[in-house]
Structure 1
Amino acid sequence: MDSQANRRLITIRNHLRTLPNEFGIKRCPCKVISASEAAQLVPSNAAITISGFVGSGHPELLVNAVRERFEQCGQPRNLHVFNVAAVGDGKGRGLGKLATKGLVTRYTFAWSGLSQEFLQLAKEGAITAWNLPLGVMAHLLRDVAARRPGPITKIGLGTFVDPREQGGKLNGPSQADAVEVVSLGGEEYLWYKAPAKIDVALLRGTTADLHGNVSFERESLLTDALNQAMAAHNSGGLVIVQVERLVAPGTLHARLVHLPGAIVDKIVVAPAELHRQTITMAGHDASLTGEIRAPASHIQPMPLDERRIIGHRAMLEISRPHCIVNLGIGMPEGVARMVATHGQAQIPHALPAHLTTEAGMFGGFPAGSASFGAAHNADCIVPCATMLDFYNGGGVDMACLGAAEVDQEGNVNVHSFPGRQPGCGGFIDISQAAKEVIFAGTFTTGGLKVAVEDGKLRIIQEGRSRKFKRRVSEKTFAASSAKGRRILYVTERAVFRLREGEGIELTEIAPGIDLERDILAYMPFRPLMKDVKVMDKRCFML
Structure 2
Amino acid sequence: MIDKTVASAAQAVADIPDGASLAVGGFGLSGNPIALIEALLAQGTSDLSIVSNNCGVDDWGLGVLLNAKRIRKMTSSYVGENKEFERQFLSGELELELTPQGTLAEKLRAGGSGIAAFYTQTGVGTQVSEGGLPRKYDGQGGIAIASPKKDVRTFDLHGEPREFVLEESITTDFALVHALRGDRHGNLVFNKSARNFNPLAAMAGRVCIAQVEELVEPGELDPDSIHLPGIYVHRIVEVGTGIEKRIERRTVSVSEGA
The equivalent of 1:300 in structure 2 is 254
1:110 and 2:87 equivalent?
no
TM-aligned CA deviation for residue 144 of structure 1: 1.1
2:200 to 221, 224, 227: 227
The CA deviation at 1:156 is 1.9
Give the C-alpha shift of residue 184 in structure 1. 2.6
Question: What SS is found at the alignment partner of 1:121?
Answer: helix
1:260: which partner in 2?
A: 229
Distance (Å, rounded) in 2 between the aligned partners of 1:168 and 1:269: 40
Matched, 1:132 2:99: yes
Q: Distance in 1 between matches of 2:110 and 2:207?
A: 17
Report the CA distance shift for 1:115/1:281 in structure 2 as closer, same or farther (over 3 A).
closer
Partner SS state of residue 12, structure 2: helix
Taking CA–CA contacts closer than 8 Å with sequence separation of 6 or more, which of the two structures ends up with the larger relative contact order?
A: 2
* CA shift in 2, pair 1:29/1:251, >3 Å: closer
User: How has the CA–CA distance of structure 1 residues 281 and 253 changed in structure 2, closer, same or farther, with 3 Å as cutoff?
Assistant: farther
Contact 1:181 1:188 in 2 (8 A): no
Query: CA–CA distance in 1 between the matches of 2:184 and 2:148?
Result: 39
Residues 182-331 of structure 1 aligned to structure 2 (within 5 Å): 182-185=152-155, 187-195=162-170, 197-216=171-190, 218-232=191-205, 237-276=206-245, 278-279=246-247, 299-300=253-254
Please state how far the C-alpha of 1:301 moved relative to its aligned partner.
6.3
Distance 2:53 2:75 in 1: 8
Q: Distance in 1 between matches of 2:35 and 2:240?
A: 8
- The Cα of 1:84 is off from its aligned counterpart by 1.7
Unaligned runs of 5+ in 1: 1-26, 71-75, 283-297, 304-542
1: CA distance, partners of 2:2 / 2:35: 25
Give 3-state SS (helix, strand or coil) of 2:164's partner: strand
Distance of 2:16 and 2:148 partners within structure 1: 25
Change in CA separation of 1:100 and 1:93 when aligned onto 2, cut-off 3 Å: closer
Q: CA deviation at 1:228?
A: 1.9
Q: CA deviation at 1:152?
A: 2.1
Structure 1 contact 167–179 (Cα < 8 Å) conserved: no
Give the superposed CA RMSD.
2.8
2:25·2:199 contact (CA, 8 Å) conserved in 1? Answer: no
User: SS at 2:105's partner residue?
Assistant: helix
Once the two structures are TM-superposed, the CA of residue 272 in structure 1 deviates from its matched residue by 4.3
Whether the aligned pair in 2 keeps the contact of 1:243 and 1:267 (CA below 8 Å) is yes
CA distance in 2, matches of 1:173, 1:148: 32
Per-residue CA shift, 1:401-424, capped at 9, x if unaligned?
xxxxxxxxxxxxxxxxxxxxxxxx
- Map 1:154-165 → 2, pairs under 5 A: 154-164=121-131
Is residue 136–residue 151 contact of structure 1 (8 Å, CA) maintained in 2?
Answer: no
Cα distance between partner residues in 2 of 1:156 and 1:39: 36
Task: List per-residue Cα deviations over 1:11-49 (Å, max 9, x = no partner).
Answer: xxxxxxxxxxxxxxxx43452331111221322222211
Is contact 2:136–2:146 with CA below 8 Å preserved after alignment? no
Q: Which residue of 2 aligns with 1:37?
A: 11
- Offset at 1:269? 1.7
> How far apart are 1:280 and its partner, in Å?
5.6
Matched residue type, 1:175: I
TM-score, length of structure 1 as denominator length: 0.42
Residues in 1 aligned to 2:124 and 2:78: alpha-carbon distance in whole angstroms: 19
Offset of 1:61 from its aligned partner?
0.8
User: 1:447-462, aligned counterparts within 5 Å?
Assistant: none
CA offsets per residue over residues 361-405 of structure 1, 9 Å max, x none?
Answer: xxxxxxxxxxxxxxxxxxxxxxxxxxxxxxxxxxxxxxxxxxxxx
Tell me how far 1:83 sits from its aligned partner.
1.0
Q: Which residue of 2 aligns with 1:169?
A: 135
Q: Which runs of 5+ in 2 are unaligned?
A: 156-160
The answer to whether the Cα contact below 8 Å between 1:240 and 1:265 also exists between their aligned partners in 2 is yes
Gap change, CA 1:123 and 1:246, over 3 Å in 2:
same
Distance in 2 (CA, whole Å) between partners of 1:47 and 1:28 is 26
- Stretch deviating more after TM superposition (223-232 or 58-67): 223-232
Decide whether the 8 Å contact of 1:96 with 1:116 is kept in 2: no
Q: Would you say the 8 A contact 2:29–2:247 is kept in 1?
A: yes
Matched position secondary structure for 1:205: strand
**What TM-score, normalized by structure 2, do the two folds share?**
0.83
Superposed CA offset, 1:442-488 (max 9, x none): xxxxxxxxxxxxxxxxxxxxxxxxxxxxxxxxxxxxxxxxxxxxxxx
CA positional deviation for 1:52:
0.6
Provide the rounded CA distance (Å) in 1 between the counterparts of 2:118 and 2:43.
35
SS in 1 for 2:87: helix
- Counterpart CA distance in 2 for 1:281 and 1:156 is 29
Number of residue pairs aligned between Structure 1 and Structure 2: 247
Q: Residue 92 of structure 2 contacts residue 136 of structure 2 at CA under 8 Å; is this kept in 1? A: no
Larger of the two Rg values belongs to structure: 1
* CA contact 1:87–1:94 (8 Å) conserved in 2: yes
Identity of aligned residues (%): 27
Cα distance change on mapping 1:29 and 1:147 into 2, 3 Å: closer
Which range moves more in the overlay, 177-186 or 206-215?
Answer: 177-186
Q: 1:251 to 1:156 in 2, by over 3 A?
A: same
- Residues 162, 169 of structure 1: alpha-carbon distance in 2 compared, 3 angstrom cutoff: farther
Question: Could you tell me whether the CA contact under 8 Å between 2:66 and 2:85 is conserved in 1?
Answer: yes
1:177-196 Cα deviation digits (max 9, x unpaired): 3551422347543223334x
